[in-house]
Structure 1
Amino acid sequence: MGRRAGSIVGVVVLLVAVGGVAGWRWWHNRPPYGPEALAATATLSLVDQVTADAAISPAQVEQAGAGDQIVLGRVTWVRPPEPQVDGSFRIVVLDKRTRLMPGFINVTAARPDAVGAGSDGSLDRAEKRYPWLQGIGKREVNGSFWSAGSAVTVSSVDASPVTLVVVLHPARRGTPPEQAVATAPVAVTDLLVALINVGPDGQVYWAQRLLN
Protein backbone atom coordinates (compact mmCIF):
# COMPACT_ATOMS: atom_id res chain seq x y z
CA MET A 1 0.00 0.00 0.00
CA GLY A 2 2.83 2.34 0.90
CA ARG A 3 4.59 1.67 -2.41
CA ARG A 4 1.38 2.33 -4.32
CA ALA A 5 0.77 5.58 -2.44
CA GLY A 6 4.31 6.66 -3.18
CA SER A 7 3.78 5.97 -6.89
CA ILE A 8 0.59 8.00 -6.89
CA VAL A 9 2.33 10.91 -5.17
CA GLY A 10 5.16 10.69 -7.71
CA VAL A 11 2.71 10.82 -10.61
CA VAL A 12 0.89 13.79 -9.08
CA VAL A 13 4.15 15.68 -8.58
CA LEU A 14 5.14 14.94 -12.18
CA LEU A 15 1.80 16.15 -13.52
CA VAL A 16 2.02 19.33 -11.47
CA ALA A 17 5.54 19.96 -12.80
CA VAL A 18 4.48 19.36 -16.40
CA GLY A 19 1.46 21.59 -15.90
CA GLY A 20 3.68 24.27 -14.41
CA VAL A 21 6.04 24.20 -17.41
CA ALA A 22 3.12 24.32 -19.84
CA GLY A 23 1.60 27.21 -17.91
CA TRP A 24 4.86 29.13 -17.90
CA ARG A 25 5.29 28.61 -21.65
CA TRP A 26 1.74 29.83 -22.27
CA TRP A 27 2.32 32.93 -20.13
CA HIS A 28 5.79 33.55 -21.61
CA ASN A 29 4.53 33.45 -25.20
CA ARG A 30 1.23 35.22 -24.57
CA PRO A 31 1.09 38.51 -26.56
CA PRO A 32 0.57 41.65 -24.47
CA TYR A 33 -1.76 42.80 -27.26
CA GLY A 34 -2.67 41.75 -30.79
CA PRO A 35 -1.80 43.49 -34.06
CA GLU A 36 -5.25 45.07 -34.16
CA ALA A 37 -4.26 47.26 -31.18
CA LEU A 38 -1.60 48.98 -33.31
CA ALA A 39 -3.59 49.49 -36.53
CA ALA A 40 -0.22 49.47 -38.32
CA THR A 41 0.15 50.54 -41.97
CA ALA A 42 3.05 50.61 -44.42
CA THR A 43 3.88 52.37 -47.69
CA LEU A 44 6.67 51.87 -50.21
CA SER A 45 7.68 53.93 -53.22
CA LEU A 46 10.58 54.24 -55.64
CA VAL A 47 12.18 57.67 -55.23
CA ASP A 48 15.18 59.72 -56.31
CA GLN A 49 18.20 60.62 -54.19
CA VAL A 50 16.92 64.08 -53.26
CA THR A 51 13.67 62.66 -51.90
CA ALA A 52 15.49 59.93 -49.98
CA ASP A 53 17.94 62.40 -48.44
CA ALA A 54 15.11 64.66 -47.30
CA ALA A 55 13.17 61.76 -45.79
CA ILE A 56 16.07 60.61 -43.60
CA SER A 57 17.63 64.04 -42.81
CA PRO A 58 19.59 64.86 -40.75
CA ALA A 59 20.95 61.31 -40.93
CA GLN A 60 23.09 60.37 -43.91
CA VAL A 61 21.68 58.16 -46.67
CA GLU A 62 23.60 55.71 -48.81
CA GLN A 63 24.19 57.31 -52.21
CA ALA A 64 22.80 55.44 -55.22
CA GLY A 65 24.83 54.81 -58.34
CA ALA A 66 24.10 53.84 -61.92
CA GLY A 67 21.57 51.03 -62.12
CA ASP A 68 20.59 51.32 -58.44
CA GLN A 69 17.05 51.79 -57.17
CA ILE A 70 16.02 53.70 -54.06
CA VAL A 71 13.03 52.45 -52.07
CA LEU A 72 11.43 54.76 -49.51
CA GLY A 73 9.20 53.17 -46.89
CA ARG A 74 7.16 54.32 -43.91
CA VAL A 75 5.59 52.20 -41.20
CA THR A 76 3.19 53.76 -38.73
CA TRP A 77 1.07 52.55 -35.83
CA VAL A 78 -0.92 53.91 -32.92
CA ARG A 79 0.20 53.50 -29.34
CA PRO A 80 -1.65 50.58 -27.70
CA PRO A 81 -3.56 51.26 -24.46
CA GLU A 82 -1.19 49.11 -22.38
CA PRO A 83 2.17 48.89 -24.18
CA GLN A 84 4.76 46.37 -23.08
CA VAL A 85 7.69 48.20 -21.55
CA ASP A 86 10.47 45.82 -22.62
CA GLY A 87 9.05 44.51 -25.92
CA SER A 88 10.27 45.40 -29.39
CA PHE A 89 9.45 45.12 -33.08
CA ARG A 90 11.15 44.02 -36.28
CA ILE A 91 10.20 45.58 -39.61
CA VAL A 92 10.98 43.29 -42.52
CA VAL A 93 11.27 44.16 -46.21
CA LEU A 94 11.44 40.95 -48.25
CA ASP A 95 11.72 40.41 -52.00
CA LYS A 96 9.02 37.81 -52.64
CA ARG A 97 10.67 36.62 -55.86
CA THR A 98 14.04 35.68 -54.37
CA ARG A 99 13.09 35.47 -50.65
CA LEU A 100 15.94 37.87 -49.86
CA MET A 101 16.12 40.98 -47.66
CA PRO A 102 18.15 44.14 -48.28
CA GLY A 103 21.75 44.07 -47.13
CA PHE A 104 21.60 47.52 -45.56
CA ILE A 105 18.76 49.77 -44.40
CA ASN A 106 18.92 53.49 -43.62
CA VAL A 107 16.35 54.23 -40.92
CA THR A 108 15.03 56.99 -38.69
CA ALA A 109 11.92 57.45 -36.58
CA ALA A 110 10.01 59.73 -34.23
CA ARG A 111 12.54 58.44 -31.71
CA PRO A 112 15.78 58.01 -33.70
CA ASP A 113 17.51 56.39 -30.72
CA ALA A 114 14.96 53.56 -30.77
CA VAL A 115 15.67 52.22 -34.27
CA GLY A 116 18.52 50.40 -35.96
CA ALA A 117 19.15 47.70 -38.55
CA GLY A 118 20.50 44.16 -38.39
CA SER A 119 19.34 40.63 -37.69
CA ASP A 120 18.85 38.34 -34.71
CA GLY A 121 17.34 35.04 -33.65
CA SER A 122 13.79 36.41 -33.56
CA LEU A 123 13.81 36.43 -37.37
CA ASP A 124 14.59 32.71 -37.40
CA ARG A 125 11.72 32.03 -35.02
CA ALA A 126 9.29 34.15 -37.05
CA GLU A 127 10.30 32.40 -40.27
CA LYS A 128 9.61 28.97 -38.74
CA ARG A 129 6.15 30.00 -37.58
CA TYR A 130 5.04 31.94 -40.67
CA PRO A 131 5.75 30.31 -44.06
CA TRP A 132 5.12 33.60 -45.88
CA LEU A 133 8.22 34.99 -44.13
CA GLN A 134 10.49 32.37 -45.67
CA GLY A 135 13.86 33.99 -46.30
CA ILE A 136 14.19 36.32 -43.30
CA GLY A 137 16.12 33.86 -41.14
CA LYS A 138 19.60 32.43 -41.42
CA ARG A 139 20.45 30.33 -44.49
CA GLU A 140 22.46 27.12 -44.33
CA VAL A 141 25.33 27.12 -46.81
CA ASN A 142 27.86 24.27 -46.76
CA GLY A 143 27.04 23.38 -43.18
CA SER A 144 27.24 26.92 -41.82
CA PHE A 145 24.46 29.43 -41.14
CA TRP A 146 24.56 32.90 -42.65
CA SER A 147 22.48 36.07 -42.48
CA ALA A 148 23.42 38.77 -45.00
CA GLY A 149 20.06 40.58 -44.94
CA SER A 150 18.93 43.28 -42.53
CA ALA A 151 15.65 44.13 -40.84
CA VAL A 152 14.73 47.23 -38.85
CA THR A 153 14.85 46.81 -35.07
CA VAL A 154 12.50 49.04 -33.07
CA SER A 155 13.04 49.14 -29.30
CA SER A 156 10.15 51.45 -28.37
CA VAL A 157 6.45 51.48 -29.19
CA ASP A 158 6.76 55.28 -29.26
CA ALA A 159 9.07 55.22 -32.32
CA SER A 160 6.24 55.51 -34.88
CA PRO A 161 6.41 56.67 -37.60
CA VAL A 162 9.46 54.76 -38.83
CA THR A 163 11.03 55.87 -42.11
CA LEU A 164 13.42 53.62 -44.01
CA VAL A 165 15.44 53.96 -47.20
CA VAL A 166 16.88 50.99 -49.07
CA VAL A 167 19.32 51.32 -51.95
CA LEU A 168 19.15 48.20 -54.10
CA HIS A 169 22.09 47.42 -56.36
CA PRO A 170 22.00 45.25 -59.50
CA ALA A 171 22.89 41.60 -58.95
CA ARG A 172 26.56 40.72 -59.39
CA ARG A 173 27.63 37.50 -61.02
CA GLY A 174 29.57 35.21 -58.77
CA THR A 175 28.11 36.52 -55.50
CA PRO A 176 28.50 33.71 -52.92
CA PRO A 177 25.10 32.41 -51.73
CA GLU A 178 25.89 33.34 -48.13
CA GLN A 179 26.23 37.00 -49.21
CA ALA A 180 23.07 37.13 -51.35
CA VAL A 181 20.71 40.06 -50.65
CA ALA A 182 17.78 41.71 -52.43
CA THR A 183 18.85 43.38 -55.68
CA ALA A 184 17.59 45.76 -58.38
CA PRO A 185 15.54 45.96 -60.48
CA VAL A 186 12.32 45.55 -58.48
CA ALA A 187 8.75 46.76 -58.60
CA VAL A 188 7.14 47.97 -55.38
CA THR A 189 4.70 45.05 -55.59
CA ASP A 190 7.66 42.63 -55.37
CA LEU A 191 8.45 43.78 -51.84
CA LEU A 192 6.61 42.43 -48.81
CA VAL A 193 6.58 44.51 -45.62
CA ALA A 194 5.88 42.85 -42.28
CA LEU A 195 5.80 43.93 -38.63
CA ILE A 196 6.92 41.40 -36.02
CA ASN A 197 6.19 41.80 -32.30
CA VAL A 198 9.03 40.43 -30.17
CA GLY A 199 9.13 39.87 -26.42
CA PRO A 200 11.92 40.68 -23.95
CA ASP A 201 13.44 37.21 -24.30
CA GLY A 202 13.32 37.21 -28.09
CA GLN A 203 10.05 35.27 -28.23
CA VAL A 204 7.89 36.06 -31.24
CA TYR A 205 4.37 37.05 -30.25
CA TRP A 206 2.97 37.61 -33.74
CA ALA A 207 3.80 38.80 -37.25
CA GLN A 208 1.53 40.91 -39.44
CA ARG A 209 1.79 41.34 -43.18
CA LEU A 210 1.36 45.07 -43.81
CA LEU A 211 2.01 45.35 -47.55
CA ASN A 212 2.11 43.08 -50.60
Structure 2
Amino acid sequence: MLAVILAVVAFVGWRWWHNHPPYGPEALAIKSSLQFVSHEEAQAALGEKVYAPLSNGRDQLVLGRVSWQTPPQPLDGGYFAIFLIDKRINRKVGSFSASSPRQEAISAGNAGVENKIPERYPWLQGAGDVREGNTWWSYGSRLAVYGGDASPLTFVAPFRYLEGPQRAAARAATAPVAMSDLLLALVYMGSDGQVYWAQRLQG
Protein backbone atom coordinates (compact mmCIF):
# COMPACT_ATOMS: atom_id res chain seq x y z
CA MET A 1 0.00 0.00 0.00
CA LEU A 2 2.82 2.37 0.88
CA ALA A 3 4.45 1.67 -2.49
CA VAL A 4 1.23 2.58 -4.29
CA ILE A 5 0.90 5.84 -2.35
CA LEU A 6 4.52 6.74 -3.09
CA ALA A 7 4.02 5.97 -6.77
CA VAL A 8 0.93 8.19 -6.92
CA VAL A 9 2.72 11.01 -5.13
CA ALA A 10 5.69 10.66 -7.44
CA PHE A 11 3.46 10.74 -10.52
CA VAL A 12 1.57 13.80 -9.30
CA GLY A 13 4.86 15.54 -8.54
CA TRP A 14 6.27 14.65 -11.92
CA ARG A 15 3.14 15.87 -13.72
CA TRP A 16 3.27 19.18 -11.85
CA TRP A 17 6.94 19.63 -12.72
CA HIS A 18 6.37 18.55 -16.32
CA ASN A 19 3.59 21.09 -16.90
CA HIS A 20 5.03 23.89 -14.76
CA PRO A 21 6.28 26.75 -16.97
CA PRO A 22 9.94 27.63 -16.54
CA TYR A 23 8.95 31.32 -16.49
CA GLY A 24 5.89 33.49 -17.04
CA PRO A 25 5.14 36.05 -19.76
CA GLU A 26 6.20 38.88 -17.47
CA ALA A 27 9.81 37.71 -17.86
CA LEU A 28 9.69 38.56 -21.57
CA ALA A 29 8.36 42.15 -21.37
CA ILE A 30 6.41 41.50 -24.58
CA LYS A 31 5.50 44.46 -26.81
CA SER A 32 3.19 44.33 -29.82
CA SER A 33 1.28 46.40 -32.35
CA LEU A 34 -1.16 45.94 -35.24
CA GLN A 35 -2.03 48.29 -38.07
CA PHE A 36 -3.46 48.30 -41.58
CA VAL A 37 -0.88 49.01 -44.30
CA SER A 38 -0.53 49.25 -48.05
CA HIS A 39 1.50 46.72 -50.01
CA GLU A 40 4.39 49.18 -50.25
CA GLU A 41 4.37 49.80 -46.50
CA ALA A 42 4.20 46.05 -45.84
CA GLN A 43 7.19 45.38 -48.08
CA ALA A 44 9.23 48.12 -46.43
CA ALA A 45 8.48 46.68 -42.97
CA LEU A 46 9.38 43.10 -43.95
CA GLY A 47 12.64 44.00 -45.68
CA GLU A 48 14.18 42.91 -48.94
CA LYS A 49 14.41 39.16 -48.24
CA VAL A 50 10.72 38.51 -47.54
CA TYR A 51 7.97 39.25 -50.05
CA ALA A 52 4.84 40.98 -48.81
CA PRO A 53 1.51 39.42 -49.81
CA LEU A 54 -0.06 40.92 -52.90
CA SER A 55 -3.31 42.82 -52.43
CA ASN A 56 -5.92 43.84 -54.94
CA GLY A 57 -9.00 45.99 -54.78
CA ARG A 58 -10.57 45.76 -51.34
CA ASP A 59 -8.10 43.25 -49.88
CA GLN A 60 -6.58 44.33 -46.56
CA LEU A 61 -3.09 43.82 -45.17
CA VAL A 62 -2.46 43.79 -41.42
CA LEU A 63 1.06 44.52 -40.22
CA GLY A 64 1.97 43.12 -36.82
CA ARG A 65 5.07 43.52 -34.70
CA VAL A 66 5.92 41.43 -31.65
CA SER A 67 9.08 41.83 -29.60
CA TRP A 68 10.33 40.33 -26.36
CA GLN A 69 13.38 40.19 -24.16
CA THR A 70 15.66 37.17 -24.41
CA PRO A 71 14.02 34.39 -22.34
CA PRO A 72 15.73 33.51 -19.05
CA GLN A 73 16.00 29.93 -20.31
CA PRO A 74 16.33 28.48 -23.83
CA LEU A 75 13.20 27.06 -25.47
CA ASP A 76 14.79 23.58 -25.58
CA GLY A 77 12.43 22.11 -28.16
CA GLY A 78 9.46 24.25 -27.16
CA TYR A 79 8.25 27.23 -29.14
CA PHE A 80 6.22 30.43 -29.07
CA ALA A 81 3.02 30.26 -31.13
CA ILE A 82 1.70 33.60 -32.35
CA PHE A 83 -1.97 33.67 -33.32
CA LEU A 84 -3.87 36.36 -35.22
CA ILE A 85 -7.56 35.50 -34.99
CA ASP A 86 -10.70 37.04 -36.46
CA LYS A 87 -13.00 37.09 -33.43
CA ARG A 88 -16.11 37.34 -35.62
CA ILE A 89 -15.71 33.74 -36.74
CA ASN A 90 -13.01 32.44 -34.34
CA ARG A 91 -10.67 31.59 -37.21
CA LYS A 92 -6.96 32.09 -37.73
CA VAL A 93 -5.72 34.14 -40.64
CA GLY A 94 -5.05 32.17 -43.81
CA SER A 95 -1.36 32.92 -44.20
CA PHE A 96 1.59 35.06 -43.09
CA SER A 97 4.66 36.70 -44.50
CA ALA A 98 7.13 37.19 -41.66
CA SER A 99 10.64 38.41 -41.01
CA SER A 100 12.96 38.09 -38.04
CA PRO A 101 16.66 38.51 -37.16
CA ARG A 102 16.68 34.67 -37.17
CA GLN A 103 14.60 33.88 -40.21
CA GLU A 104 15.31 30.15 -39.92
CA ALA A 105 13.73 30.09 -36.46
CA ILE A 106 10.21 31.02 -37.61
CA SER A 107 7.62 29.19 -39.69
CA ALA A 108 3.90 29.33 -40.45
CA GLY A 109 1.58 26.36 -40.15
CA ASN A 110 -0.42 24.29 -37.67
CA ALA A 111 0.13 21.56 -35.09
CA GLY A 112 -2.47 19.20 -33.69
CA VAL A 113 -1.11 19.62 -30.18
CA GLU A 114 -2.34 23.23 -30.28
CA ASN A 115 -5.91 21.96 -29.98
CA LYS A 116 -5.16 21.84 -26.26
CA ILE A 117 -4.90 25.62 -26.14
CA PRO A 118 -8.67 26.44 -26.26
CA GLU A 119 -9.34 23.70 -23.70
CA ARG A 120 -7.31 25.72 -21.20
CA TYR A 121 -7.98 29.21 -22.55
CA PRO A 122 -11.56 29.54 -23.88
CA TRP A 123 -10.86 33.06 -25.10
CA LEU A 124 -8.42 31.46 -27.60
CA GLN A 125 -11.04 29.20 -29.18
CA GLY A 126 -9.83 30.17 -32.61
CA ALA A 127 -6.39 28.65 -31.99
CA GLY A 128 -7.73 25.12 -32.43
CA ASP A 129 -9.21 23.14 -35.29
CA VAL A 130 -12.79 23.65 -36.44
CA ARG A 131 -15.37 20.90 -36.04
CA GLU A 132 -17.74 20.35 -38.96
CA GLY A 133 -20.02 17.39 -38.37
CA ASN A 134 -17.84 14.52 -37.19
CA THR A 135 -14.67 15.91 -38.74
CA TRP A 136 -12.11 18.39 -37.48
CA TRP A 137 -10.51 20.76 -39.98
CA SER A 138 -7.51 23.02 -39.67
CA TYR A 139 -8.15 26.37 -41.32
CA GLY A 140 -5.61 29.17 -41.29
CA SER A 141 -2.12 29.37 -39.82
CA ARG A 142 -0.13 30.59 -36.88
CA LEU A 143 3.50 31.61 -36.60
CA ALA A 144 5.84 29.32 -34.66
CA VAL A 145 9.01 30.79 -33.17
CA TYR A 146 11.67 28.23 -32.28
CA GLY A 147 14.35 30.59 -31.02
CA GLY A 148 14.14 32.99 -28.11
CA ASP A 149 16.47 35.34 -29.98
CA ALA A 150 14.13 35.71 -32.98
CA SER A 151 12.86 39.08 -31.70
CA PRO A 152 11.68 41.48 -33.01
CA LEU A 153 9.25 39.65 -35.27
CA THR A 154 7.41 41.44 -38.07
CA PHE A 155 4.55 39.85 -39.98
CA VAL A 156 1.95 40.75 -42.58
CA ALA A 157 -1.35 38.88 -42.83
CA PRO A 158 -3.64 39.29 -45.86
CA PHE A 159 -7.42 39.44 -45.62
CA ARG A 160 -8.88 38.75 -49.05
CA TYR A 161 -12.07 40.41 -50.19
CA LEU A 162 -14.35 37.78 -51.71
CA GLU A 163 -17.82 38.04 -53.17
CA GLY A 164 -20.70 35.71 -53.95
CA PRO A 165 -20.03 31.96 -53.87
CA GLN A 166 -16.35 32.48 -53.05
CA ARG A 167 -17.22 34.38 -49.88
CA ALA A 168 -19.78 31.75 -48.84
CA ALA A 169 -17.19 28.99 -49.34
CA ALA A 170 -14.34 30.78 -47.55
CA ARG A 171 -12.94 29.00 -44.51
CA ALA A 172 -10.33 31.53 -43.38
CA ALA A 173 -10.83 35.11 -42.22
CA THR A 174 -11.73 37.55 -45.00
CA ALA A 175 -12.11 41.29 -45.59
CA PRO A 176 -13.58 43.63 -44.64
CA VAL A 177 -12.19 43.40 -41.14
CA ALA A 178 -11.88 46.08 -38.43
CA MET A 179 -9.03 46.30 -35.97
CA SER A 180 -11.50 45.64 -33.16
CA ASP A 181 -12.26 42.25 -34.78
CA LEU A 182 -8.69 41.02 -34.32
CA LEU A 183 -7.10 39.09 -31.47
CA LEU A 184 -3.32 38.75 -31.26
CA ALA A 185 -1.91 36.27 -28.75
CA LEU A 186 1.37 34.57 -27.89
CA VAL A 187 1.35 31.05 -26.45
CA TYR A 188 4.34 29.26 -24.95
CA MET A 189 4.30 25.58 -25.90
CA GLY A 190 6.60 23.03 -24.25
CA SER A 191 8.67 20.39 -26.01
CA ASP A 192 6.12 17.67 -25.14
CA GLY A 193 3.09 19.71 -26.18
CA GLN A 194 2.55 21.36 -22.79
CA VAL A 195 0.57 24.59 -22.94
CA TYR A 196 2.66 26.61 -20.51
CA TRP A 197 0.77 29.89 -20.82
CA ALA A 198 -1.05 32.24 -23.19
CA GLN A 199 -0.77 36.02 -23.26
CA ARG A 200 -3.32 38.29 -24.96
CA LEU A 201 -1.37 41.00 -26.80
CA GLN A 202 -4.06 42.85 -28.76
CA GLY A 203 -7.83 42.61 -28.86
Normalising TM by the smaller chain, what interval? over 0.9
Q: Do the aligned residues in 2 keep the contact of 1:141 with 1:177 (CA within 8 Å)?
A: no
Q: How far off is 1:173 after superposition?
A: 4.3
Look at both structures and tell me which one has the larger radius of gyration over its CA atoms.
1
Question: Residues of 1 paired with 2:162 and 2:54: CA distance?
Answer: 17
Q: Which amino acid aligns with 2:54?
A: Q
The verdict on how the C-alpha distance between 1:13 and 1:129 changes in structure 2, with shifts beyond 3 A counting, is: same
- Sort the Cα spacing of 1:177 and 1:68 in 2 relative to 1 into closer, same or farther, 3 A: closer
Q: Is the 8 A contact 2:99 2:155 kept in 1?
A: yes
- Taking structure 1 as the reference length, the TM-score comes to 0.89
The SS at the match of 1:135 is helix
TM-score by length of 2: 0.93
Q: Which runs of 5+ in 1 are unaligned?
A: 1-10
The counterpart of 1:59, out of the listed 50, 54, 72, is 50
Determine the C-alpha separation between the residues in 1 that align with 2:143 and 2:157: 11
SS in 1 for 2:12: helix
CA distance in 2 between partners of 1:73 and 1:176 (Å): 25
Match of 1:71 in 2: 62
Q: What is the percentage of aligned positions where both structures have the same residue?
A: 43
- Matched AA of 2:37: V
Shift of 1:189: 2.1
Of 9, 12, 20, which aligns to 2:2? 12
1:13-162 matches, within 5 Å, as 13-57=3-47, 58-162=49-153
Query: 1:178, 1:161 → 2: CA distance?
Result: 35
Task: Give yes or no for contact 1:147–1:178 (8 Å, CA) kept in 2.
Answer: no
SS at match of 2:116: helix
Residue identity matched to 1:97: R
Closer, same or farther: CA 15–176 of 1 in aligned 2, 3 Å: farther
Match of 1:6 in 2: none
